[in-house]
């Protein structure tokens, strides 16, 4: 089963996305949310697709005691061969969906919801009601795969969650093939024997730039432009891989699990436009310099280009900043999280993620000092959603910015996309985002501090009082 973590969009339609947004995990490790009216794929909360093995077989038995002295030299080769064999087994099973019965497909979908679904609507989900649903379905005749898919659709529809839904094999395939790297690869995070993360190519676009340059399924990514990526997340590696279209990137790959290491030059084909517009404005008859930054969406270039804008505006003498998130419906939630960190002190909370179980609440915090410390105004409106709301509340709740404009959209759900064994899939709501001040974003939105722009001295005073109150509480 493959599992992708995403953030949901304000629509449940699946359309070819103009900009990427995916990330993936297994089991559920909430990362990501989005609300994009045209396509929920734009709200995929991560950075790369992650493909998990469908079946696991026992490792080959160890050699007898008489040759135990040779174990240390051969164990790595055994592990390499076994890993390659498992990958081949996964590909074989994916190519033979007829091996799975209609009843097994329906049961698989039922179990995913049973294990993972977070009910957020008026009709609260209960294990008892869901178990009854399974018992009702058991007696249903499932003569065709189409009938099984229809049963899954009705089963998911009964949950009353518009974002939990079925994906046909064709719809799921479009998502799995979607390239966010710009060179035609998808990456999977795999822990090694020491618990460190290594990145494997578990998704390759045929005749794409990487494939044409010699990269193959199962290769391990070792470095990008000389930067060692071992221990880095797929998102971090992705941010290094990406760049302007028609430029090249050097990657070091290890073929298979035991093959040779090769340095490969790959031509990028990423078509991502900068979402950042910025300018320096003078107010108070030229006495105050304000750095204005407009962020249209959270795509792969958002953080990098916003850092450039912030540094240039600082160099031009900006003493205050305006971050305009109006009509920004979201995008890559991880980009939003990383952008929020640019304004926060080390250890301050960006957002909380919450799942079905109370103990599943986790916090995401800033790890470094802020890039700027000047007062900030964040402009918001009714179309400020998902990743934009994460950024706005992170800055607001940590006393780094005030919010000006209209109440925000209110979209803070997290979905995972699970592949079923016949190549179809289910999108399931598995969590939600909660602000640093413990406000549930979803369905509520965020109220602004002001409807119209206040004077900067008022902004400074309000943030100062907020920080003093914050210090007392902590």
Q: Which run of H or of E encompasses 466?
A: helix 456-473
Is residue 48 within 8 Å of residue 237, measured between CB atoms? yes
Structure tokens at 178: 């979607």
**Residue 105 CB neighbours (<10 A):** 22
Residue 331: C-alpha distances to residues 17, 142, 278, 283, 337 (Å): 11, 39, 20, 32, 11
Residue 93, pLDDT score: 46
Sequential DSSP letters for 24-79: E-SS---------SS-GGGG--SSS-----S---PPPPPPPGGGGGGHHHHHHHHH
**Residue 414 three-state SS:** strand
C-alpha 452/C-alpha 448 separation (Å) is 10
E strands, 268-375, where?
276-283, 288-295, 320-324, 349-354, 362-365
Helix, strand, coil percentages, rounded to 5, for the chain:
30, 25, 45
Q: Cα–Cα distance between 32 and 448 in angstroms, integer?
A: 24
User: Among 112, 160, 155, which Cα is nearest to 134's?
Assistant: 155
Strands 3-7 and 413-419: antiparallel
Backbone angles phi, psi at 276, to 5 degrees: -110, 130
Q: Which H or E run includes 437?
A: none
Number of neighbours of residue 85 by Cβ within 10 angstroms: 13
At 364, list the tokens: 């995401």
Res 259: pLDDT: 83
Cβ atoms < 10 Å from Cβ of 382 = 14
The upper half-sphere exposure of residue 416, i.e. CA atoms within 13 Å in the direction of its Cβ, equals 25
User: What's the pLDDT score for residue 460?
Assistant: 96
C-alpha radius of gyration, the chain, whole number: 24
User: How far apart (Å, rounded) are the C-alpha atoms in residues 19 and 16?
Assistant: 9
Coil, strand, or helix at residue 283? strand
Two structure tokens written together for 225: 């432009």
95: exposed, middle or buried (C-beta count within 10 Å: 0-12, 13-18, 19+)? exposed
SS3 (DSSP) at 191: strand
Note if the pTM is more than 0.75: no
Q: Phi/psi class of residue 399: alpha, beta or left (left: φ > 0; alpha: ψ in -120 to 50)? A: left
Q: Decide: 29 and 23 in contact? Cβ < 8 Å.
A: no
The two tokens of residue 412 are 């803070």
Distance CA 166, CA 426 (A): 4
pLDDT of residue 1: 60
pLDDT tens digits in sequence order for the chain, 474 residues long: 655 555 443 332 222 233 333 333 333 333 233 333 222 222 233 222 222 222 222 222 333 333 333 333 444 555 566 566 555 555 544 555 567 889 999 999 999 999 989 887 655 678 888 998 888 887 778 889 999 999 999 999 999 888 899 999 888 776 655 566 778 887 877 777 777 788 888 666 666 788 889 998 788 999 999 999 888 877 778 778 877 777 899 999 998 777 899 999 998 875 557 899 999 999 888 889 999 999 999 887 889 899 999 999 999 999 999 999 999 998 878 889 999 999 999 999 999 998 888 777 889 999 999 999 999 999 999 999 989 999 999 999 999 999 999 999 998 888 888 888 888 999 898 889 999 999 999 989 999 999 999 999 999 999 999 999 988 876
Q: How far apart are CA 435 and CA 438, in angstroms?
A: 5
- The residue with tokens 């058991």 is 138
Tell me how far apart the alpha carbons of residues 24 and 306 are, in angstroms, rounded to a whole number: 25
List, by residue number, the catalytic residues: 386, 411
Separation between Cα atoms, residue 434 and residue 161, nearest integer Å: 19
Q: What is the pLDDT of residue 106?
A: 94
DSSP letters along 95-136, please? T-GGGS-HHHHHHHHHHHHHHH----SSS---HHHHHHHHHH
Nearest to 164 by CA among 101, 104, 114: 114
Is the distance from CB of 352 to CB of 55 less than 8 angstroms? Answer: no
Half-sphere exposure of 450 (CA within 13 A, CB side): 14
- Which two tokens mark 302? 């958002």
Distance CA 12, CA 413 (A): 13
CB atoms inside a 10 Å sphere around CB 347: 8
Rounded Cα–Cα distance for residues 151 and 68 (Å): 54
């Amino acid at each position: 089963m493959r599992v992708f973590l995403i953030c949901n969009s304000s629509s449940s339609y699946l359309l070819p996305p103009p900009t990427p947004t995916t990330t993936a995990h297994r089991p559920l490790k909430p990362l990501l949310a989005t609300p994009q009216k045209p396509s929920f794929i734009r709200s995929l909360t991560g950075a790369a697709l992650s493909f998990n093995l469908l079946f696991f077989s026992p490792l080959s038995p160890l050699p007898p005691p008489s040759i135990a002295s040779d174990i240390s030299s051969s164990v790595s080769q055994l592990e390499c061969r076994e890993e390659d064999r498992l990958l081949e087994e996964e590909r074989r099973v994916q190519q033979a969906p007829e091996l799975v019965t209609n009843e097994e497909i329906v049961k698989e979908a039922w179990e995913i919801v049973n294990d993972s679904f977070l009910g957020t609507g008026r009709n609260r989900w209960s294990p008892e009601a869901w178990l009854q649903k399974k018992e009702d379905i058991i007696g249903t005749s499932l003569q065709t795969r189409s009938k099984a898919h229809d049963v899954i659709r009705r089963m998911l529809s009964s949950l009353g969650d518009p974002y939990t839904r079925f994906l046909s094999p064709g719809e799921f395939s479009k998502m799995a093939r979607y390239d966010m790297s710009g060179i035609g690869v998808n990456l999977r995070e795999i822990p090694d024997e020491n618990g460190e993360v290594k990145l494997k190519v578990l998704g390759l676009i045929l005749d794409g730039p990487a494939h044409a340059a010699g990269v193959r399924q199962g290769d391990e990514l070792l470095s990008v432009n000389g930067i060692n990526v071992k221990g880095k997340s797929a998102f971090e590696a992705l941010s290094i891989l990406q760049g302007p279209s028609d430029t090249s990137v050097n990657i070091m790959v290890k073929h298979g699990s035991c093959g040779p290491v090769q340095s490969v030059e790959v031509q990028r084909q990423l078509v991502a436009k900068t979402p950042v517009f910025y300018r320096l404005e003078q107010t108070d008859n030229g006495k105050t310099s304000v750095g204005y930054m407009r962020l249209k969406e959270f795509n792969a270039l958002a953080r990098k280009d916003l850092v450039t804008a912030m540094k240039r505006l600082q160099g031009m003498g900006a003493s205050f900043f305006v971050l305009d998130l109006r009509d920004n419906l979201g995008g890559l939630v991880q980009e939003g999280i990383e952008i929020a960190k640019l304004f926060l002190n080390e250890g301050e909370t960006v957002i909380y993620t919450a799942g079905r179980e109370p103990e599943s609440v986790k916090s995401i915090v800033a790890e470094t000092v802020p890039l700027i410390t000047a007062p900030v105004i964040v402009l918001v409106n009714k179309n400020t959603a998902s990743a934009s709301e994460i950024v706005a509340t992170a800055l607001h709740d940590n006393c780094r910015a005030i919010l000006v404009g209209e109440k925000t959209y209110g979209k803070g759900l997290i979905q995972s996309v699970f592949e079923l064994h016949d190549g179809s899939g289910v999108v399931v709501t598995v969590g939600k985002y909660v602000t640093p001040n413990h406000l549930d974003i979803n369905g509520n939105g965020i109220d602004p501090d002001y409807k119209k722009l206040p004077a900067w001295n008022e902004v400074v005073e309000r943030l100062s009082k907020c920080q003093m109150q914050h210090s007392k509480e902590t």
